[in-house]
A = this chain, B = another copy of it.
Amino acid sequence: MSETSVSCLITKLSHYLTLTDDSREKLAILEEEEISFSRGSEIYTIDDANEHLYVVKSGWLYTYLDLPDGRRQIVKIHHPGDIIGFADIAFRQATTNLAAAEDVVLCPFPKRGLRMIFGEAPQITALMFSIAVRDQVVLLDTLRALGRMSSRERLVYFLLDLVSRLRITNRSMTDTFRLPLTQTEIGDTIGLTNVYVSRAFTALEKDGLIARTAKGVRIVSEAELKAMVDFADRYEQMDTTWFPE
């Protein structure tokens, strides 16, 4: 446990409003415990009893669904500061699978930790509710991408969505970011094969819209990319005017 490091959960939530000391203390409780998983680990799978939620301390993970014949769809990528497991609150058993895209550190906390938040921290409750709703809108955007976009457009949408999210926790980040996912994983996210992810990447690079570094990507012409897929940033702003306190 690193006392000195700033909590990325608090960083993420602070983007939207100034947290009270009381709120900060309540959030700290959610990050007391730590577990590490190595790349490729399955943290939980469908039908597991889901008694815990997780705060991501470091590393990327993803939630996915399978088809019986082996096809796979990644439905959500998780970054440091994210809370994993909200979607399963309404069910006794997990409805999805969770895997580590690289070595990760998670902070598990029992569902009743959430009840404590709900009962005693109205400010965080409202924010978490808003984030859950916001994520739903993002899913609608993703649906639009998978249902109606070409391979190149899908990749563009995928990259723009990533940048927008990463900027919330890392304000200094401009246009270059690390991308610790294989092209097969990216394909499973946007409904393509690894082959076509590769082709789309090189095509975008050739057109000078993006550039690729060792393990990352640089967005070269963000405006052009945004116009290409009619991109709307759902992360930057949220309506917090109706919040309590």
Chain A interfacial positions (CB closer than 8 Å to B) = 63, 65-68, 71-73, 75-76, 86-92, 95-96, 111, 115, 129-137, 139-144, 146-149, 188, 190-191, 229-230, 232, 234, 238-239, 242
Is B137 a contact of A135 with CB atoms below 8 Å? no
A238 to B238, CA, bound (A): 29
User: Can you give 20 A-B contacts (C-beta < 8 A)?
Assistant: A65-B144, A66-B230, A67-B148, A71-B148, A72-B148, A73-B147, A75-B140, A75-B143, A86-B136, A90-B131, A90-B133, A91-B239, A95-B234, A111-B242, A115-B242, A132-B133, A136-B136, A136-B139, A139-B139, A147-B191
The listed residue (B75, B92, B115) touching A144 by CB distance below 8 A is B75
Is A191 a contact of B137 with CB atoms below 8 Å? no
**Chain B residues positioned under 8 Å from A67 (CB to CB):** 144, 148-149, 229-230
Closest residue on chain B to residue A142 by CB atoms: B143
The listed residue (B66, B90, B148) touching A191 by CB distance below 8 A is B148
A87 CB, nearest partner CB in chain B, Å? 5
A141 to B96, CA, bound (A): 10
Is A137 a contact of B242 with CB atoms below 8 Å? no
A159 to B221, CA, bound (A): 42
A157 CB, nearest partner CB in chain B, Å? 11
A209 CB, nearest partner CB in chain B, Å? 17
Closest residue on chain B to residue A134 by CB atoms: B90
A42 CB, nearest partner CB in chain B, Å? 17
Closest residue on chain B to residue A95 by CB atoms: B137
A196 CB, nearest partner CB in chain B, Å? 13
Is A65 a contact of B133 with CB atoms below 8 Å? no
Closest residue on chain B to residue A153 by CB atoms: B67
Q: Which of A76, A137, A229 has the most CB of B within 10 A?
A: A137
Is A86 a contact of B133 with CB atoms below 8 Å? yes
Given pairs A67-B229, A88-B137, A136-B139, 8 additional interface contacts (CB within 8 A): A73-B144, A73-B147, A73-B148, A89-B239, A91-B137, A95-B234, A142-B143, A146-B146
